[in-house]
A = this chain, B = another copy of it.
Amino acid sequence: MTTSGLDPAIGSLLRRNADGLVAAVTVDHHTSDVLMMAWMDDEALHRTLVTRRATYYSRSRGELWVKGETSGHTQAVREVRIDCDGDTVLVRVEQTGPACHTGERTCFDGADRLLLTDDGP
């Protein structure tokens, strides 16, 4: 957790986990493909809403993380929604470059990432 400037009205909608985080599902604004799943604390959500640059909370590093800050693969935020029980935000973005650190377009795209498919009608 970091101290946060998040609007208390928005904060009141959040149902944070024991670490003070909500899940963030990020989708491509144009294709609606799910790009990645990450986490936000209050300040990450605040900065995402105010700067319109997708900002997450890194659980491994224990710090905020502006997507693309080092790679250049930024996410310009177009829409943010919160789910019915307040523990997940859905972020629609204009993605620059690949979303995944592996270089794949999304974090679900690797050939070895497919567990089940059904190409039926």
Contact yes or no, B32 A31, CB < 8 A: yes
Residues of B within 8 A of A33 (CB): 32
Nearest-CB distance from A79 to chain B (Å)? 5
Nearest-CB distance from A43 to chain B (Å)? 15
The interface bits of chain A over 100-121 (1 if a CB of B lies within 8 angstroms of the residue's CB, else 0) are 1110100110101111111000
How many monomers of this protein are in the complex? Answer: 2
CA distance A63 to B17 in the complex (A): 19
Q: Which of B34, B89, B107, B112 contacts A27 (CB 8 A)?
A: B34
Contact yes or no, B80 A116, CB < 8 A: yes
Chain B residue with the shortest CB-CB distance to A27: B34
Nearest-CB distance from A81 to chain B (Å)? 4
Residue ranges of A at the interface with B (Cβ–Cβ < 8 Å): 10, 13, 23, 25, 27, 31-34, 36-37, 49, 52, 77-85, 87-90, 100-102, 104, 107-108, 110, 112-118
